Chain A
Amino acid sequence: MSDPRAPIISMRNVSKFFDDFQALRDVNLDVRLGERVVICGPSGSGKSTLIRCINRLEAHETGEIIVDGTVLTDNPKNLDKIRGNVGMVFQQFNLFPHLTVIDNLTLGPRRVLGLSDADAKARAMKYLERVQIPDQADKFPRQLSGGQQQRVAIARSLCMEPRILLFDEPTSALDPEMIAEVLEVMTELAASGMTMIVVTHEMGFARRVADTMVFMDKGEIVEIGAPEDVFTAPKSKRFGTFLQQILNH
């Protein structure tokens, strides 16, 4: 914390196995406060696994992950501290279907942060306005479009006021006409200085927003660099081929 240029997330030689299958191979990644990292790569390359290790939805086997000065272990105290700092947005939204939008948003602030009902509600409304759907507060998730649901999910994460937000393919489950509204909210978040790690194949968004582009394949970080560099002159052949495939799609 003393050195503002010190990484807020630091992954050192991180490996992760599912039984015999190695999903992450010696991953090294530093993310600075306020940095926007976009991760892309073919299916099964370990993108989800990598970001899920950061808030320990998956436990890594070897290596070290340090988030905001706290080493990630099973120690519940450390874990709570890290999860309090790290929000996550899922491909399938994962909203709580039996709760209204406002109750989805206030659950964490009330139960985890100990806010009063009124304060939690005020905070929820603030973030619903930020994602531009304050008028949907009393609806149930199923009554909303996919794009609206994903924006509620983003607002739910924001209500915990994390310093870091992880996104796992936030627009992959959406109809094309709704992708833009979600990317717009994310772009606005990036502009506000939020530290973000985004797994996505939206290359337009990556070019506009990313400070750092990461390309993964077979559990490894194959290429990493500023988007203007890696897009114009990919160093590895695999990334070149991948880009061609995506752009021709």
Chain B
Amino acid sequence: MKRLTICAALMLLAGCSGNWGWYVVDPTTPKGLINLKFMLNGMYYTILLSVTAISISVVVGLLVALPGLSPKKGWRRFNRTYVEIVRAVPILVLILWVYYGLPTLTGITLNVFWAGVLALALSDSAFQAEIFRAGIQSVAKGQYEASQSISLSYRDTMRFVILPQAIRRILPALGNQLVYMMKMSSLVSVIGMQELTRKANELIVSEYRPLEIYTVLVLEYLVLILIVSAGVRWVERRLQASEI
């Protein structure tokens, strides 16, 4: 099996070798350097889009998670309905709907960036709500009782006792969501957002070198996400060192 894979890989490389045209993104040539810079420029919006969207979805997710933990049935039903509906819509469809549909419905036109942020944040907030709900539920009942016994208000109990413990536990899941968000942000290219994927597509139109350009695109995402993952692990380790 292993040998077969290696054979296939070698054949592919040999077969393709004549067809690789790395000159399009070769940084030692002036044209290649310009093209490469053009592609890397998309990094700015990929990061800005993902980070803005996740900042919003974390807050919305928390606000949706809290009623899900309420003893009152109506509040819990609100939580379930929100999560089920939002989770059911494909992100791409949501992006198209927010960008093309929402202006007709509300009269408010969002630019490409904010339409992308809104769609990504909305979609992610359902997952964030589930993550927060599970994280908060994992904090022991005794922590609420101890807070009540010193008369701490609900807000302060959440803010100083429950959430700090819950967030430490859900940090790996939040890290995963950030990575997921960075990958999903590529979909915003369909409405013209100048992020990594859009830049690659535009370059292909003028250079006709999809293999090389998409390979660079894959590497761009790979490096970005490896760096983010390492950052998340670093934060996790630091928080763990400071407790439990």
Contact = CB atoms under 8 A, between A and B. Distances in A.
Interface of A: 55, 57, 80, 83-84, 86-88, 90, 92, 94-99, 107-108, 111-112, 140, 142, 153, 156-157, 160
A86 B150 CA distance: 8
Nearest to B145: A57
Interface of B: 140, 142-143, 145-146, 148-153, 156, 160-161, 164-165, 168, 242-244
B151 A83 contact: yes
Given A94-B143, A96-B143, A111-B156, A157 B161 contact: no
Given A94-B140, A107-B150, 8 more contacts: A55-B149, A57-B148, A87-B150, A96-B146, A96-B161, A112-B152, A153-B146, A156-B150
Contact of A98 (B148, B156, B164): B164
B151 A107 contact: no
Given A90-B142, A90-B146, A111-B156, A98 B165 contact: yes
Q: Which 6 pairs, one residue from A and one from B, show the smallest C-beta to C-beta distance?
A: A108-B150, A94-B146, A94-B142, A88-B149, A83-B151, A98-B243
12 contacts: A83-B149, A83-B150, A83-B151, A86-B149, A88-B145, A90-B146, A94-B145, A99-B160, A112-B150, A112-B153, A112-B156, A156-B146
A84 B151 contact: yes
Nearest to A105: B150
Contacts of B242: 98
A98 B168 contact: yes
Contacts of B143: 94, 96
Contact of A157 (B150, B156, B244): B150
Contacts of B161: 96, 107
A87 B148 CA distance: 10
B160 A87 contact: no
B104 to A, nearest CB: 46
A99 B163 CA distance: 13
Contacts of A98: 164-165, 168, 242-244
A76 to B, nearest CB: 9
Contact of B152 (A95, A108, A153): A108
From DSSP, what is the main secondary structure of chain B's interface residues? helix
B146 A57 contact: no
Given A98-B243, A107-B160, A83 B142 contact: no
Nearest to A112: B151
Nearest to B146: A94
A84 B149 CA distance: 8
Contacts of A140: 243
A153 B153 CA distance: 19
Contacts of A160: 150-151
A74 B143 CA distance: 21
Contacts of A107: 150, 152, 160-161
Contacts of A87: 149-150
Contacts of B164: 98
B151 A97 contact: no
A168 B103 CA distance: 60
B145 A83 contact: no
A157 B243 contact: no
A97 B146 CA distance: 12
Contacts of B150: 83, 87, 107-108, 112, 156-157, 160
Contacts of A99: 160
Contacts of A92: 142
A55 B165 contact: no
Contacts of A80: 151
Given A94-B142, A96-B143, A97-B243, A55 B148 contact: yes
Nearest to B142: A94
Contacts of B168: 98
Contacts of B153: 111-112
Contacts of A57: 145, 148-149
Contacts of B152: 107-108, 111-112
A108 B165 contact: no
Nearest to B168: A98
Contacts of A156: 146, 150
Contacts of A108: 150-152
A90 B145 contact: yes
A88 B156 CA distance: 19
A15 B242 CA distance: 45
Contacts of A97: 165, 243-244
A194 to B, nearest CB: 16
